[in-house]
Structure 1
Amino acid sequence: MPVVNRIAAFAEDMAAWRHTIHRRPELGFDLHETAAFVAARLREFGVDEVHEGIAKTGLVALIHGRHPGGAIGLRADMDALPMDEITGAPYASEIPGRAHACGHDGHTAMLLGAAKYLCETRNFAGTAVLLFQPAEEQGGGGEVMVKEGVLDRWNVREVYAMHIAPGTPLGEFATTPGPIMAAVDDFTITLRGKGGHAAYPHDAVDPIPGACALVSALQTIASRNADPMKQLVVSITQVHSGSAYNVIPEEATICGTIRSYDKALHALARRRLDELVQGHATAFNLEGRVNILPGYPPTVNDPERTAFAAEVAREVATRVDTAMVPEMGAEDFSFMLEARPGAFLMLGNGDTPMCHHPAFDFDDRALPVGASTFARLIERALPLTE
């Protein structure tokens, strides 16, 4: 693959950085060790400024080009997942119950590789603003960084990010203009009745029949309320009730998630969810409560910047698919794309286990491709002739 020669020359360094991060996965906003490692590498490279403690453990690095100009943001997420790893890799997680099973170690290493190259060459006019973000998996670190003013403070005019993509051929890219990943809300439904002895159901108000009926009814939100030409997912992922064979429980709890690309459709799903809960609660003589946990908005690529990013990626990768089918997964880079135009690209990892699988691992051969594309985005967006 035609990666930047200088970046190809230190591909082994990028792999070593990734393996170091991979061994010591950290969660959410508590990325103290990871952030310190990233900051140390950035200072070794000679970045002009490193700002730490943003969104608790996020950091921003600035690299100035040879002449003044605009500012372009490149983002990498750094957090891991609360799960065990079964890759058997020599650099596997050393911390039980934590694993870099979504490739954020690779995203971070790619942006570090781009930083090293940009510090050495500075073949651009303006400022590369490197955004190393905590808490993509849990907590919406992207939203926190935006609210703390990272895009305004450094006058970032565009933002770009990448995510590793199992199932896409190694080193190839996929993206699409418009929505590329879905909005997400999680919900918890509580149905409360009256507990009692299972031998005397007439003396109790059993929440379980109501919960079973409600789970079936919730399937009609997507199948009978939503426009079938629009994408909507309402998934029930947990049902909890009871603790003994001979006890009718007091409560039943149902948990799940809503996913869509359309704000109006999302609002419809939330409204129908509440209406179905209240209707079933009344029908089964229960009290019904809905607690919705707002998640990430849809990740929406700016069409013009997506075409530009794809053009740049074609200089590096063997193939770029610009008609990717949008995914129902969610991504908190969405907050940055709400604040600034930009694009989100998927980088192929080959035929490997999917992200969030305990056997997933980032293929080190993708690192030079991602780092080269990050670097070329800066050079092309901020040309010296600007």
Structure 2
Amino acid sequence: MNADLTQKMQAWRHHLHRMPELGYQEHRTAEFLAARLAGMGYAPVTGLGGTGLVARLQGQGLRPPIGLRADMDALPIPEETGLDYASVNPGVMHACGHDGHMAMLLGAAQALRHGPPPPGDVWFIFQPAEETGAGARRMIEDGLFRIAPVARVFGLHNWPDLPQGRFSACVGAQMAAVDQFDITVTGRGCHAAMPQSGQDALLAASQIHQMLQSVVARNIDPLESGVVSVTQIHGGTAYNVLPERVEMRGCTRSLSEATAQLIHDRMSAICASVAAGFGLRIDLERRRGYPVLNNTAEEVAIARAAAARALGPEAVDPAPRPSMASEDFAFMLQERPGCYAFLGTATGEGHRLHSPTYRFNDAILPMGAAWWMALAGGAEAPGSV
């Protein structure tokens, strides 16, 4: 990767970092990307999934088309980095590195445009609303794979849990499914001095909270993975009143549909038993989120081989581990075989994803772009690396 393109990618990222936009609001971001792509000689197709866009690099027709995807949206987090290119949009920040993902894919698009034609067509996919809006699904519904008829699709995320430059991709589950839940406990409010006259919704909620922690510990096979997290409990407005209603909210995560269903079934049973024991009403609502992100074996082999060529064989993690975080790239992998990978960024500074102090590591920009280029120019599945 030449120094001029590396500097250009850094400038692009810093510009995008200054102007973060939330999901489905990435209008200026999309305009910036479309202008850069047009300046390289591409003819971007805009408006997919609302604010998404794609561009095609014509290949030699020796290999089926492939898709390379970067996400576009920022997070509703006030930035606290103190960077001279910090967000100018109050309360919004690129705290997950999507600015870097876009810059790396733009860099690859420019380098590939000025090189020999790749073996097959390459489609650059810039996707909105990854964080909470299921932008991948929206792009698919808008005809993504009809407009960009790719045979395989690949994605990449910077990963502070791995050393800088480390490449990691699992066969099968790479990231978890996530569901959200709402539990409403409805009892009978009363004066705190006369608890016998009411039905204590708060006490029932505390019982539910404790019992939910037994689901993973005592119902799920220790060799499987699951998480149940209560993240909110709301109830009461006075010091001397037991409230009639308490609301609990949270999320569950799993690496298989069977585990996700088991967690829901056990939560339903716990709510029913506590309701019977306390003589009050408990309602559980489950909202399905992103599915398990499953990488396919052949595409993982292709991705790992490309990483070995671009970054060196020593960069490829021989024992990759999945993450219990979630990603809507899973919807694309339900439609096409592919691979979603992590590229390590850790330097010891300790800045975490989704943190107001998170800082993208610019040193990985040429690494990520080099991997995209190796994928675009690579051969068919070469076997494991």
Q: TM-score, length-normalised on structure 1?
A: 0.94
Other structure's SS at 1:70 match = coil
Asked if 1:342 is matched to 2:338, the reply is: yes
CA contact (8 A) 2:184 2:247 kept: yes
Q: Deviations over 1:112-153 (max 9, x none)?
A: 111111221243133111110011111111111122221233
2:254 maps to a residue whose letter is S
Other structure's SS at 1:138 match = coil
CA distance in 2, matches of 1:322, 1:346: 13
Asked if 1:46 is matched to 2:41, the reply is: yes
CA contact (8 A) 2:60 2:121 kept: no
Alpha-carbon distance change, 257 to 99 in structure 1, aligned in 2, over 3 angstroms: same
Other structure's SS at 2:206 match = helix
Other structure's SS at 1:253 match = strand
Match of 1:372 in 2: 370
Match of 2:285 in 1: 291
CA contact (8 A) 2:104 2:368 kept: yes
Q: Return the match for 2:353 from 352, 355, 361.
A: 355
Alpha-carbon distance change, 224 to 67 in structure 1, aligned in 2, over 3 angstroms: closer
Alpha-carbon distance change, 112 to 252 in structure 1, aligned in 2, over 3 angstroms: same
CA distance in 2, matches of 1:379, 1:321: 22
Q: Return the match for 1:79 from 73, 80, 83.
A: 73
Other structure's SS at 1:321 match = coil
CA contact (8 A) 2:58 2:117 kept: no
CA contact (8 A) 1:67 1:125 kept: yes
CA distance in 1, matches of 2:112, 2:30: 20
Shift of 1:254: 1.2
Shift of 1:67: 4.8
Q: Deviations over 1:209-246 (max 9, x none)?
A: 10011111111111111111111111111111111101
Match of 1:63 in 2: 57
1:330 maps to a residue whose letter is S
What is the CA RMSD across the aligned residues, in angstroms?
Answer: 1.6
Shift of 1:200: 2.3
Other structure's SS at 2:343 match = strand
Judge which range, 15-24 or 222-231, deviates more: 222-231
2:57 maps to a residue whose letter is I
Q: Return the match for 1:253 from 231, 247, 252.
A: 247
Asked if 1:113 is matched to 2:107, the reply is: yes
1:371 maps to a residue whose letter is A
Q: Return the match for 2:204 from 210, 235, 238.
A: 210
Q: Deviations over 1:72-126 (max 9, x none)?
A: 0000001011111111111111122111110000001101111111221243133
Percent identical among aligned pairs is 43
CA distance in 1, matches of 2:31, 2:20: 13
CA distance in 1, matches of 2:146, 2:202: 51
| Structure 2 gaps, min length 5 | none
Other structure's SS at 2:163 match = coil
Asked if 1:315 is matched to 2:315, the reply is: no
CA contact (8 A) 1:175 1:322 kept: no
Other structure's SS at 2:16 match = helix
| Structure 1 gaps, min length 5 | none
Other structure's SS at 1:323 match = coil
Other structure's SS at 1:305 match = helix
- Count how many residue pairs are aligned between Structure 1 and Structure 2: 377
Other structure's SS at 1:90 match = coil
CA distance in 2, matches of 1:225, 1:350: 35
Q: Return the match for 1:29 from 12, 24, 44.
A: 24
Shift of 1:45: 0.7
Asked if 1:193 is matched to 2:191, the reply is: no
Q: TM-score, length-normalised on structure 2?
A: 0.94
